[in-house]
């Protein structure tokens, strides 16, 4: 439960529910309603609470702004975008050692990149940050134009799957990918399954220190 709570309390939906709960607590303590809403009615009201309630809550200004931004997207569209973001970022980390080594993409890596990012012609001198920025821009133009990309990024960065992927890249993949023969790299789908089931050991933590240092 502690693990669930760690991620849940940081979610925008949790913060919005808390803000609405605090509003109801204040209103009902001053004047008890004739009847209380059902749980479904309360949830619906919380998910659609007006900006005035958020503004008067004790939430940090940054969190208030993100909740309002997320509302522009709508719950279902935001969830779809977060799923796409998680997969795209995992793909970028699969590519990262090859990009960092300035190794031209070839074989399976090039095929998968072209399939997922057909609009991008990768430059030979690009670093990983440039590659990731262009991948993100090509897939999230609607969110950028609508002003809700920040909510996608914030929500995705809290996701446990993302944590697993970055741990796997930092603690294992960055040091142990087949740099002498990139053709031996596993497919992205196989790599992602390994990443999402990865559990670091003491040796991996030592390797990570030398990589990050």
Clarify whether residues 82 and 150 are in a common domain. Answer: yes
Judge whether 76 and 154 are in contact, CB under 8 Å. no
Calpha distance 199→196 (Å, rounded): 9
Calpha distance 195→174 (Å, rounded): 12
CB count, 10 Å around CB of 212?
Answer: 9
Report if residue 14 sits inside a domain: yes
What's residue 79's pLDDT?
Answer: 93
Clarify whether residues 149 and 179 are in a common domain. Answer: yes
Clarify whether residues 46 and 107 are in a common domain. Answer: no
What's residue 104's pLDDT?
Answer: 80
Clarify whether residues 113 and 191 are in a common domain. Answer: yes
Which of the residues in the chain have pLDDT under 50?
Answer: 1-9, 203, 205-213
What's residue 11's pLDDT?
Answer: 81
**Parent domain of 34:** 2-59
Clarify whether residues 41 and 84 are in a common domain. Answer: no
Report if residue 34 sits inside a domain: yes
The number of distinct structural domains making up the chain is 2
Report if residue 68 sits inside a domain: no
Model confidence pLDDT, tens digit, residues 169-192: 999 998 888 877 777 889 999 999
What's residue 58's pLDDT?
Answer: 86
Clarify whether residues 22 and 112 are in a common domain. Answer: no
What's residue 201's pLDDT?
Answer: 72
Report if residue 64 sits inside a domain: no
Clarify whether residues 140 and 37 are in a common domain. Answer: no
What's residue 202's pLDDT?
Answer: 53
What's residue 10's pLDDT?
Answer: 62
Report if residue 41 sits inside a domain: yes
* pTM exceeding 0.85: no
Angle between helix axes 160-168 and 75-100 (nearest 10 degrees) is 0
Clarify whether residues 44 and 102 are in a common domain. Answer: no
């Amino acid at each position: 439960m502690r693990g669930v709570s760690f991620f849940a309390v940081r979610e925008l939906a949790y913060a919005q529910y808390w803000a609405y709960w605090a509003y109801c607590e204040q209103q009902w303590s001053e004047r008890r309603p004739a009847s209380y809403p059902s749980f479904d009615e309360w949830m619906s009201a919380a998910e659609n609470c007006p900006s005035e309630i958020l503004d008067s809550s004790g939430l940090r200004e940054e969190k208030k702004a993100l909740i309002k931004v997320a509302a522009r997207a709508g719950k279902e569209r935001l969830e779809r975008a977060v799923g796409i973001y998680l997969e795209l970022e995992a793909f970028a980390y699969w590519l990262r050692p090859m990009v960092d080594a300035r190794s031209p993409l070839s074989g399976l890596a090039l095929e998968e990149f072209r399939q997922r990012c057909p609009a991008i012609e990768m430059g030979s001198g690009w670093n990983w940050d440039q590659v990731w920025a262009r991948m993100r821009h090509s897939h999230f133009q609607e969110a950028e134009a609508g002003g809700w990309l920040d909510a996608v990024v914030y929500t995705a960065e809290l996701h446990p799957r993302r944590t697993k992927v970055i741990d796997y890249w930092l603690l294992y993949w960055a040091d142990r990918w087949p740099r002498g023969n990139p053709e031996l790299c596993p497919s992205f789908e196989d790599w992602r399954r390994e990443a999402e089931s990865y559990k670091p050991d003491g040796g991996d933590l030592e390797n990570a220190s030398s990589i990050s240092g």
